[in-house]
Every structure is written in C-alpha cells, then in structure tokens.
C-alpha cells in the first residue's frame, strides 16, 4: 500500500554565500552610496546563483502510506491501518482460541475495507464511524482484555469483562464484515445497531 515520493530540499549554502557578500560589502564598500548598494545586491544575487549550481538540491525519499488524491481519505486510511496493526499484535497476545478467531475476522474484514476504500476513496465517507469509533473502540477494549490476561488480574469485575468480551467478540467481527459488505452495495449499511453491544460494554466498564 505504501508509496514513495521524492522531496527536493533547496540547499542553504547559497543563502550563506549571498549573506557573506553583503557582509563583505558592508565592510569594504560605502553601502550608503546607491552604486555600492546596487553592486553588492548584484554580487549577492550572483553568489546565490553560483552557490545553487555548486550545491544541488537534497533529495529525500518519503514513504506515504496512502496516496488516493484525498488528504482526508489518506488520513483515515492511515488511522485504520494503525488500528489493524494493533489488532494483529493483540491477537498474538490473547490465548483464547475463540476470541483469537474473532480478532482474525475483524482484521481480515478491516484489511478488505482498507483495500476497497484505497481503490475508491469516495467511499471513505461510508466508513467514517467505523474508522473513527467502532474500530478504535474494539482495539481499546481488546487492549484492556490483553493487559488483564498478561497481568493475571482476577476479580468479579475483571472476570465479568472477560466474559462479555469473549461472548460478544464474534458479533463485533460480524459487524465489521457487514461494514465491508456495505461497501459493495448501493445502500450504506448502518452498523450502529450491530455494534450497540460494543458501546454498552465499554460504557459499563467505564472505558
């Protein structure tokens, strides 16, 4: 997905050369005279031009994750890509097979959404809530789950959260898949109802 662009940065030495001419001119010439001022300006411009030829522009290769032609779409896709990478890392940390399978489904649907919107950036508006709310919320709650597992946190509240996440992960994955299906249909599917469980779960746990 990533692409490389070349950015040319003008050298700074020509500016220093031009400034040096003014410095020397101020010492050896009466700059309060019009002819001296004009001569110094001419020599300064010449120094800048010569310096530019002697010091070529510095070329930098910059990686751009997405180049759809829309800055908003590129920013959204970059954010989605980052959250999907987080999902992948979380899946490696979570030992529960059922939950791991649900995360794989979320990741697969998310990658397909990413590819589709990259090819058709006009569809970015159709995934705005998915990109800005539902995907980040899923990552957030799964991050909490993974931390509790790693730290061995136990207790009534922790166990209740684990149970809720494991119970509803498949439904969240299905909602992600529904969002993907909506991109291929004429009507935009509202996945808000499908993800009510996610919102209520986070609200109930104070996340």
pLDDT, tens digit, for every residue of 122-154?
888 888 888 988 899 899 888 988 888 777 777
Provide the pLDDT for residue 84.
94
Please state the rounded mean pLDDT for residues 193-204.
57
pLDDT, tens digit, for every residue of 78-108?
899 999 999 999 998 888 888 899 999 999 9
Q: With H, G, I as helix, E, B as strand and everything else as coil, classify residue 32.
A: coil
Distance CA 131, CA 142 (A): 16
Distance CA 152, CA 108 (A): 29
Two tokens at 134?
Answer: 């539902």
Distance of CA 34 to the CA centre of its chain: 55
121: number of Cβ within 10 Å: 18
Helices (H), the chain: 13-28, 34-54, 71-93, 97-119, 128-129, 135-151, 156-183, 196-204
Q: The whole model's pTM is what?
A: 0.61
Provide the pLDDT for residue 207.
47
73, 125 in Cβ contact below 8 A?
no
179, 195 in Cβ contact below 8 A?
no
Q: What is the C-alpha end-to-end distance of the chain, expressed in Å?
A: 32
Nearest to 195 by CA among 154, 125, 135, 155: 135
When the pLDDT of each residue in the chain is averaged and rounded to a whole number, the result is 81
Nearest to 66 by CA among 57, 56, 79, 83: 79
Place of tokens 């030829």: 53
């Amino acid at each position: 997905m990533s692409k490389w662009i070349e950015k040319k940065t003008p050298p700074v030495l020509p500016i220093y050369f031009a400034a040096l001419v003014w410095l020397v001119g101020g010492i050896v010439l009466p700059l309060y005279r019009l002819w001296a001022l004009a001569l110094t300006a001419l020599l300064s411009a010449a120094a800048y031009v010569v310096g530019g030829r002697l010091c070529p522009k510095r070329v930098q290769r910059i990686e751009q994750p997405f180049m759809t032609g829309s800055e908003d779409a590129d920013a959204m896709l970059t954010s989605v890509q980052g959250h999907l990478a987080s999902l992948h890392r979380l899946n490696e940390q979570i030992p529960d097979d059922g939950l791991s399978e649900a995360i794989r489904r979320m990741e697969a649907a998310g990658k397909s959404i990413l590819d589709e919107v990259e090819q058709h950036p006009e569809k970015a508006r159709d995934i705005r809530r998915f990109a800005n709310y539902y995907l980040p919320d899923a990552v957030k709650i799964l991050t909490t789950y993974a931390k509790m597992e790693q730290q061995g946190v136990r207790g009534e509240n922790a166990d209740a959260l684990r149970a809720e996440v494991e119970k509803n992960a498949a439904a969240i994955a299905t909602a992600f898949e529904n969002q993907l299906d909506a991109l291929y249909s004429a009507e935009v599917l509202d996945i808000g109802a499908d993800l009510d469980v996610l919102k209520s779960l986070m609200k109930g746990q104070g996340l």
